[in-house]
Amino acid sequence: MSSTMFRTTFKFLVLLLSICNITVAQAEVPDALAPRQSPTANAATTAVCQNYATVANLSTVALNSTYRAAFLRSSNLGTFDARAILDVESPKLMGLMMDVQLNQQCGNLSQVAIDGAAANFTAGTVLGLTIADAPGIAVDAVAMPIVQIAIFLIFCGTWISL
């Protein structure tokens, strides 16, 4: 008998908590708790600002040799197609950076791109691609001394035969 009473009490408690949960979820958030937004927060979603962000991101990777090499190595497009994507946007960056009205509307997206590229590179990605390992023989691999000895013998053999 006590088990049925416990079940009834437990069911009542669960029902009460679910009603309170729905009530709290539907409660309005007071204006004091609303997130603050700058007057230009909606301006950052315009097409001009999106274009500026894209040019800044691609140019940051294109103009930094470390990021560029990582992108070209990781891209599945191939070296020439991936290089073309980066090289098309780079000349546009300086004009966008010097446009005062655009920077007032969108903010300094070139600095945002630089900071974001550094953070992403540290995390192991570049332009959304996971950085692939460089191909080749590792320095501590067994094949390295064999290749070095073979090169030495070929060069010495050529030098001695002269």
Per residue in 18-57, pLDDT (tens digit) is: 665 665 455 555 544 444 444 445 555 788 889 999 999 9
Q: Are 55 and 65 in contact (CB under 8 A)?
A: no
Residue 60: the pLDDT is 93
Helix or strand holding residue 14 (H, E): helix 2-26
11-15, 22-26, 146-150: which is most confident:
146-150
- The pLDDT of 136-146, averaged and rounded, is 78
Nearest to 52 by CA among 8, 95, 114: 95
Residue 126, SS3 per DSSP:
strand
Structure confidence at residue 7 (pLDDT):
65
Residue 35 confidence (pLDDT): 44
pLDDT score for 20: 57
pLDDT for residue 154:
93
pLDDT score for 47: 87
Give per-residue pLDDT as tens, 83-134: 998 898 889 888 888 988 988 888 889 899 999 999 999 999 998 888 888 7
pLDDT at 46: 81
Read off φ and ψ for residue 130, nearest 5 degrees: -70, 130
72's CB contacts (< 8 A; 6+ apart) are 79, 82, 83
Higher-pLDDT residue of 25 and 146 is 146
